[in-house]
Amino acid sequence: MNSYTTIEGRATAEIEEKKSRFIASVAHVETEEEALAFLEEVRAANRMARHNVYAYILREGGAGADGRVRYSDDGEPQKTAGLPTLEVIQHAGLTDIAIVTTRYFGGVLLGTGGLVRAYTQAAQAGIEAANLVVVSQCVDISVRMDYPLYDQMVRLAADCEAKMIDVQYTDRVTMVLRMLDGTQEPLLAKLTELFRGKEEIEVSDPFDAMF
């Protein structure tokens, strides 16, 4: 089943290493345009900073299982900044995420080992501050029924691990259930049996959603 872990919204975290400040800004992004716009936004907000190092991983538009992967050291010694940031994202198993780490130089040189450690810790702190979510391929099932069937329907949904997304009460009840794509057949079979084909059941095309 196709599912992936990403973050919701944005987060920031800051660490200090020998008077240098490292501020990790983390964002959920779904396209390269969004990733680059986020980078520019962070740069614009931190014009006095010495470096704005970034890394991002996207599901879309890339070859291979990893999608599109980019990073930049932004003037730091090669492989001391962008690559460690990227590796933190990969180790966390995240995609559709961008991290921009802003460094304000504190006057003390950190050396390559110190830089790798600081950028790694900043990225880890940024991810820890974020809210992680799992996105899976889902379907929504809309069911219109008479009121006496409502309680049975709620039990059936719970038994089949369907999440109730919406309920509307008019002359009848309309219930929208969300399920992982591929798990809906047992529920649909039970609905046909319960309703004897009289009720209205609609199944959406598969789509990506938090579940």
Parts of the chain belonging to CATH 3.30.70.260 = 137-210
pLDDT tens, position by position, 169-183: 999 999 999 999 988
What is the predicted pLDDT for the residue at 197? 64
Confidence check: pLDDT of 37 > 70 = yes
Confidence check: pLDDT of 66 > 60 = no
Q: How far apart are CA 176 and CA 46, in angstroms?
A: 45
The phi-psi region of residue 180 (left if phi > 0; otherwise alpha if psi is between -120 and 50; otherwise beta) is beta
pLDDT band at 64 (very low <50, low <70, confident <90, very high): very low
Partner residues linked to 164 by β-bridges:
177
pLDDT tens, position by position, 120-130: 999 999 999 99
Spatial contact of 55 and 42, defined as CB atoms under 8 Å apart: no
Answer with the residue of higher pLDDT: 174 or 2: 174
Confidence check: pLDDT of 60 > 90 = no
Within 109-201, residue ranges assigned H as helices are: 111-129, 150-159, 185-195
pTM reported for the whole predicted model? 0.76
Partner residues linked to 161 by β-bridges:
none
- Residue 35 host element (H or E): helix 32-45
What is the predicted pLDDT for the residue at 36? 94
**Domain boundaries 137-210, corresponding CATH code:** 3.30.70.260
Which tokens hold the place of 189?
Answer: 């079979």
Q: What single-letter DSSP state applies at residue 51?
A: E
Q: How far apart are CA 32 and CA 39, in angstroms?
A: 11
Report the residue count for the chain.
211
What is the predicted pLDDT for the residue at 115? 94
Where does residue 44 rank: exposed (0-12), middle (13-18), buried (19+ CB within 10 A)? exposed
* Region 44-59 average pLDDT: 93
Q: Which fold has domain 3-129?
A: Ribosomal Protein S5; domain 2 (3.30.230)
